[in-house]
Amino acid sequence: MFKQAKISKHRIEKIIECFCLDLTATQTHKLLGLNRKTVNAWYLHFRLAIYWQQINEFKKFVGEIELDESYFGRKRIRGFHGKLKKGRGTVKQPVFGVFERNGRVYTEIIPDCKRKTLQPIIQGKVGIESVIYTDGWRGYSGLVDVGYDKHFRVNHGANEFSKGNGVHINGIESFWSFTKRRLAKFNGTKRNFDLHLKECEWRWKRDERELHETLVLILKKFAKIN
């Protein structure tokens, strides 16, 4: 990881520390007195390694699973002067999320939130024996028909956010909230949104020490692959 670098191992370790503290590249560049392009290059290297780690790590989820979709960004259609709506039916980028209640989360950028889009992802990522929790969106209809016979819903349209007995999707909604708060400081991450999304998966509910330990391991693994 360090052999071909043009800066010292000590400097790289400091960049890793700043990255794990979730400092922006601008903040790190000012704090360490390094060239901004150098910091950006290392941050991109870290994010690529994290991206492939997250893609390869989560093959199948089993247990109590929360499913939900969220919307990111803001893009106005040319010639449209009305007010953009929030949530479904907007021109924002939809993202689908799978949350396993032991803490793991998986996200995927999707073209839309239709049933024909969501169902194949669910079948590919969620074990058939799992207990599934969703809201009432029609995109989740038909899961029982394909074998997910333990599918429970909450009706957000009727201001229902929990039915008790664990029937809620508070976990995945907490992740969406964390992700949107974090990405706000990057001005919406118009570039490399997919990398930032996977980075949010990796960061969620991890402290600085754990982030540092796992990043070093990921970088070592990534270096061997490349």
Q: 15 lies in a domain?
A: no
HSE-CB at 165 with a 13 A cutoff on CA atoms is: 5
Sign of CA dihedral 107, 108, 110, 115: negative
Q: 177 lies in a domain?
A: yes
Contacts of 74 (CB under 8 A, 6+ apart): 84, 92, 188
Q: How confident is the model at residue 181 (pLDDT cuts 50, 70, 90)?
A: very high
**Structural tokens at position 95:** 């993202």
Beta bridge partners of 106: 98
C-alpha to C-alpha distance for 104 and 123, rounded to whole angstroms: 17
- Selected residue with higher pLDDT from 221 and 29: 29
Q: 215 lies in a domain?
A: no
Q: 168 lies in a domain?
A: yes
What are 9-39's pLDDT values in tens digits?
A: 999 999 999 999 999 999 999 999 999 999 9
Sign of CA dihedral 188, 190, 194, 199: negative
The DSSP 8-state label assigned to residue 84 in this structure reads P
Q: 225 lies in a domain?
A: no
Q: How confident is the model at residue 177 (pLDDT cuts 50, 70, 90)?
A: very high
Model pTM score: 0.85
Residue that is written with structure tokens 């793991």 in the block: 104
Q: Is the pLDDT of residue 81 over 50?
A: no
Residue that is written with structure tokens 């360090």 in the block: 2
Q: 23 lies in a domain?
A: no
- Selected residue with higher pLDDT from 63 and 159: 63
Q: Is the pLDDT of residue 43 over 90?
A: yes
What are 47-74's pLDDT values in tens digits?
A: 999 999 999 887 789 999 999 999 998 6
What are 101-132's pLDDT values in tens digits?
A: 988 899 999 999 999 999 999 999 999 999 99
Mode of pairing for the β-strands spanning 151-154 and 131-135 = parallel
Average pLDDT over residues 69-81: 64
Q: 167 lies in a domain?
A: yes
Residue that is written with structure tokens 């449209």 in the block: 80
Residue that is written with structure tokens 């939130």 in the block: 113
Range of the domain at 165: 64-184
Q: 79 lies in a domain?
A: yes
CATH number, domain with residue 180: 3.30.420.10
Number of domains in the chain: 1
